Amino acid sequence: MSIQTWTILGPLVGTALGAGITLIAGPLQVRKAANAEHGQWLRNERQKTYVELLAAWDDLAVQIEGRVLTRESMEIIDHENSWHEASEDVTEAMRRDRAPFQRVAERAQMLGPDTVEQAVGVMLSSLGALEAGITAQYSSSSRNAFWEAQELAKESRSAFLAASKAVLRSTPIGRRR
């Protein structure tokens, strides 16, 4: 080929190569940017949800502790012979109390990762034990069940806190979402 041919074909070949590289690299760059943006969104959503979960747990713990029978309340229920009604009332109240926490817990499980999902599952299980402990007060069987379940609940909150810290403090690079 002559110099004149290369003078004409050179820019055309260069333009074609540049266009080919752009066609390949462009979508890769867009995908990389989308992944980074999604990762940042997920991290922010997790942080908000984890904080909401801890606040909802703490609110619920106060409500549940308020349902522990005192000697005075047991005497009143005894005097009125209303154990069955009181048990139904507290069961319904705990179901209502649980709803806000349940919603945030489900969102935290959806956002993950697996370690947080498992920690939330343990929190939900310990919540069930707390509720069973409260209900047991009304049936005479084990009035200590609540106090035993309360220790499990405190441990499950601590485990969730540790799992959520590990997720939020880790760098996004090289971490599975």
Amino acid at 69: L
Give the pLDDT confidence score for residue 47 in this predicted structure: 94
Give the pLDDT confidence score for residue 177 in this predicted structure: 47
CB neighbours of residue 130 within 10 Å:
26
**Is residue 94 predicted with pLDDT exceeding 60?**
yes
Q: Which two tokens mark 167?
A: 């997720």
Give the pLDDT confidence score for residue 46 in this predicted structure: 94
pLDDT in tens, 95-125: 999 999 999 999 999 999 999 999 999 999 9
SS3 1: coil
Question: In the CATH hierarchy, which fold is given to the domain comprising 46-169?
Answer: Four Helix Bundle (Hemerythrin (Met), subunit A) (1.20.120)
SS3 121: helix
The average pLDDT across 32-50 equals 88
Give the pLDDT confidence score for residue 100 in this predicted structure: 95
Domain positions in the chain = 46-169
